[in-house]
Amino acid sequence: MKKLISIFIVSLMFVGLAWAQGTLTFDEDGWNLPTGSVYGDGSNEVNGITWNYGHCQDAGQYSIEGTSLLLRRASDGYLEATIPGGIGTFSFEYKKGYTGNAVRQLELIINGTQVAVTDEFGTAEHNDADVVYTFSHEVNIPSEATVRIKNVGETSPNRHSVIDNISWTGMGQVDDPFIGVSSISISGFEYELDSGPSEAISFTINALNISNDVIITSPDYYEVSLDENANYGNIVELSPVDGTIDNIEIFVRLESGLVVGDYSGILLVESELNDIEIDLSGQVKAPLAPGYFVDFEDGSTTGYASENVELNGLVWDMTQSLIGSDSGDWKIDSKSARFNGKAGSSITMMEDKVNGIGDINFFYKKYGNDAQRTWKVEYSMDGGTSWTQAGDEFVAQDAVTEFHASVNQAGNAR
């Protein structure tokens, strides 16, 4: 089964490119990847290119071919290298690792900007434990480029994903006019009301064999600059030097003074060749109300039997769970919650909190050497009638891990 995902981010006219290529299979000498339950960071030089990896291991029985690399999670698992001479097409194979059913999705980041993602994979619904997919993307950057492959986002729950058989073509001598950008869609511009502008997000422009200026025009509500920290406006003009614009970074941000709401628009890159459009999206958020915090220090239970407990002013039902203070309970102060691991184990708010839900965060870890099951977090906006999953499912490990999910729902919630 082969899936091909291509997002074209450049507009080019060329006749006679000289192409080169490279490959990476993880079967090369020098790979000392961790195995078993150990994950680690490291690097290896292959054919003059240094590949750095973070929180990875040998995929072992889940490999695609020979040795494969297994990425554990989005927060700190990655593979990265700086490839000289430019990149034409970049490709790799990928599949599910381990047996957990968390949704998986990989992203390709070029020079710090996400340029493409794979389809989602790895859940029970996909039924693809043994399916190897192929990803391919037209990068078309004629100069040195830094490539990173990782799970989408920054979350910490496990999303084991296997990659292998990486390949790319290079861009050699370009004789005819060329212009390209590193991304055609940028999102994530945001700030809280009265605290703008947003943080800047950048993209890069490359051009060869052009005569006239390239003009970058921002849409309403956005502004652009060549300096991340100053000189923002609606237009940036780039003048080629000897016909070349070499990997120039353009900074974009959502302007200050906007009201609460969503803001989208099209940033225009105009050149003598044609125009390139970059979709922008962002939002101004209402100020968050004070959060609700539970540390279990004000509650107590008599065992695993279901009972109601008041925690920081709200009543919770604890079923097949308890508030523990034993030496085996991991805790920040003197108490924490412990699930017994049965199917019905839960901690549930029995009444709503006002002012909605922004982010949900907590710490968790494995209790002793007990067998573990998959857990999930849910929230309700209708008094507990229906529930919606927040964030990814997770399995507790030996190490303390932080759960994070963004809900951003107004109104009464539990």
Looking at the fold, whether 278 and 185 belong to one and the same domain comes out as: yes
Instruction: For residue 157, say if its preceding peptide bond is cis, omega within 30 degrees of 0.
Output: no
| Domain closes at, from 285, 315, 348 | 285
Same domain assignment for residues 24 and 164:
yes
- Strand ranges (DSSP E) for 313-387? 314-319, 321-324, 336-339, 346-349, 357-364, 375-379
Structure tokens at 143: 């100069």
Residue 396 lies in a domain: yes
> Residue 321: which residues within 8 A CB-CB, separation 6 or more?
301, 304, 337, 338, 339, 340, 345, 346, 347
| DSSP H helices in 80-125 | none
* pLDDT > 50? residue 389: yes
Confidence class for position 20, pLDDT limits 50, 70, 90: low
203 and 350 share one domain: no
Q: Does residue 261 belong to any structural domain of this protein?
A: yes
Tens digit of pLDDT for each residue in 58-101?
Answer: 999 999 999 999 999 999 999 999 998 889 899 999 999 999 99
CA angle 213, 215, 218 (to 5 degrees): 170
- Mean pLDDT for the stretch of residues 113-134: 93
Buried b (16+ CB within 10 A) or exposed e, 105-143: bbbbbbbebbbbebeebbeeeeebeeebbebbbbbbbbb
Query: Domain span at residue 82?
Result: 10-169
Segment 151-179 shows an average pLDDT of 88
Question: 298 in a domain, yes or no?
Answer: no
- Say which CATH number the domain at 113 has: 2.60.120.260
Q: Is 191 found in the same domain as 99?
A: no
pLDDT of residue 202: 94
Q: Which of 136, 169, 202 is the last residue of a domain?
A: 169
Question: Which residues, at least 6 apart from 382, have a Cβ–Cβ distance to it below 8 Å?
Answer: none
Residue 13 confidence class, pLDDT cut points 50, 70, 90: very low
Residue that finishes a domain, picked among 115, 142, 169:
169
pLDDT 10s digits, 289-327: 678 999 999 999 988 989 999 999 999 999 999 999 998
| The pLDDT of residue 258 | 97
pLDDT tops 90 at residue 144: no
Asked if 215 and 277 sit in the same domain, the reply is: yes
pLDDT at residue 19, rounded to an integer: 39
Residue 19 domain-assigned (yes or no): yes
Average of pLDDT values for 120-125? 93
Structure tokens at 337: 């919650």
Task: Please tell me whether residues 64 and 115 are part of one structural domain.
Answer: yes
pLDDT tens for 268-292 read 999 998 899 999 999 998 876 678 9
Q: How many CB atoms lie within 10 A of CB 300?
A: 12
Please give the share of the chain, as a percent, with pLDDT higher than 90. 70
CATH assignment of the domain containing 278: 2.60.40.1510
163 and 23 inside one domain: yes
Is residue 414 in some structural domain? no
369 with 276, same domain? no
User: Quick one: pLDDT at residue 117?
Assistant: 95
Residues 259, 318: one domain?
A: no
Both 401 and 381 in one domain: the answer is: yes
Measured between alpha carbons, how far is 234 from 217 in angstroms, rounded to an integer?
6
Average pLDDT over residues 242-264: 95
Looking at residue 10, its pLDDT comes to: 39
Residue 375 has pLDDT above 70, yes or no: yes
What letter would DSSP give residue 190?
E
CA angle 91, 97, 99 (to 5 degrees): 150
* Domain co-membership, 36 together with 111: yes
Would you say residue 301 lies in a domain? no
Confirm whether 2 is domain-assigned.
no
Q: Does the structure show a pLDDT above 50 at 5?
A: no
Position 5 in a domain: no
| Cβ atoms < 10 Å from Cβ of 89 | 17
What average pLDDT does range 384-408 have in this prediction? 92
Helix, strand and coil content of the chain, in percent to the nearest 5, comes to: 0, 50, 50
Residues 184 and 273 in one domain: yes
Q: What is the mean pLDDT of residues 10-26?
A: 58
Split into its structural domains, the chain has a count of 3
Is pLDDT larger for residue 216 or for residue 340?
216
Nearest to 9 by CA among 113, 121, 98: 113
Separation between Cα atoms, residue 393 and residue 266, nearest integer Å: 35
pLDDT tens digits, residue range 254-271?
999 999 999 999 999 999
**Amino acid occupying residue 267:** L
pLDDT band at 251 (very low <50, low <70, confident <90, very high): very high
